[in-house]
Structure 1
């Protein structure tokens, strides 16, 4: 059973990196015992094939490249079973200006034009909030720079 679980885990990791929780859930779904799962995961952690810290930083980079905000990234990481402390650390370690990312996301979706219509502004606000940005970041993204009028 141990060899089968090890081969199943190798096959999973060959496709993409996984968190420990994801691996445990997938192996449990294949009817491996808890003891076998724990020992396989322990062996892979010791060898460095499985690393939640590496997985978390890769996940943050992936979501930043998609233009997602920190709230959405936190939610995705939580669903993958990453520890809260590691989530906070990974997002803090990300070299990202969330305000500028929100502004770039809004510009990509809607262009650079100023929003005068309250309904349109509400629509854009809802979109950016759904992408994981805070109200402050959304407000910044939808504001008009004073330097644009110089």
Structure 2
């Protein structure tokens, strides 16, 4: 059929189809899906129906999303619970759901081992710094990674008891 023109007979994408396409690429929170569909121009009632359907079919589950994201970040990215908590809140996961997901991840991913591993690597890479100064820098690094201050202090005192005086004044504020 030389010279024939194909007509585009496909229907415009539905909100459900768009949401499924997003979920096929990666996990999303309910809030992220709602926001993306609204940005794509879908009506509120279509978004609401899509979210209900996705929940019913178990494609959308904030509790599972929170646990999977927490487990992944803590195991693979070397970040602590505070950093993950902040990320979940940013993604619109309710506080109670985020906390439950964190607790599930903490049961599987030992945070103390992650702190120890990161601390040893940091310590070896900064061997030119004076030990007390290096320990204070390490404490700040681990806090920025989202680990609780109490855990960081305890682990650093256990790993380098000789220089634990350098941690005085860096005690835990709020967990």
- Following TM superposition, the consecutive aligned residue runs of length 4 or more in structure 1 with deviations greater than 6 angstroms are 112-115
- Which residue of the partner structure matches residue 33 of structure 2? 23
Following superposition, the deviation at residue 109 of structure 1 comes to 3.0
- Which residue of the partner structure matches residue 89 of structure 1? 100
Counterpart Cα distance in 1 of 2:123 and 2:25:
35
Query: Under a length normalisation based on structure 2, what TM-score does the superposition of the two structures give?
Result: 0.75
Q: Deviations over 1:106-143 (max 9, x none)?
A: 12333399985332222111110010011111112322
Question: Which structure's relative contact order is higher, taking Cα pairs within 8 Å and 6+ residues apart?
Answer: 1
Query: Under a length normalisation based on structure 1, what TM-score does the superposition of the two structures give?
Result: 0.86
The one of 73, 77, 87 equivalent to 2:84 is: 73
**Change beyond 3 A, Cα 1:41–1:3:** farther
Q: Deviations over 1:12-70 (max 9, x none)?
A: 01101111000001111111111110111111100111111111111011111211111
Q: Which of these two proteins has the greater Rg computed from alpha carbons?
A: 2
- Which residue of the partner structure matches residue 108 of structure 1? 121
Q: Which runs of 5+ in 1 are unaligned?
A: none
- Which residue of the partner structure matches residue 127 of structure 1? 141
- Greater helix share, structure number: 1
Superposed counterparts of 1:9-20, under 5 Å: 9-20=19-30
Q: Which runs of 5+ in 2 are unaligned?
A: 1-10, 161-175
Indicate if the aligned counterparts of 1:22 and 1:81 stay in contact, CA closer than 8 A. yes
Q: How many residues align?
A: 147
Counterpart Cα distance in 2 of 1:110 and 1:24:
44
- Which residue of the partner structure matches residue 47 of structure 2? 37
- Which residue of the partner structure matches residue 5 of structure 2? none
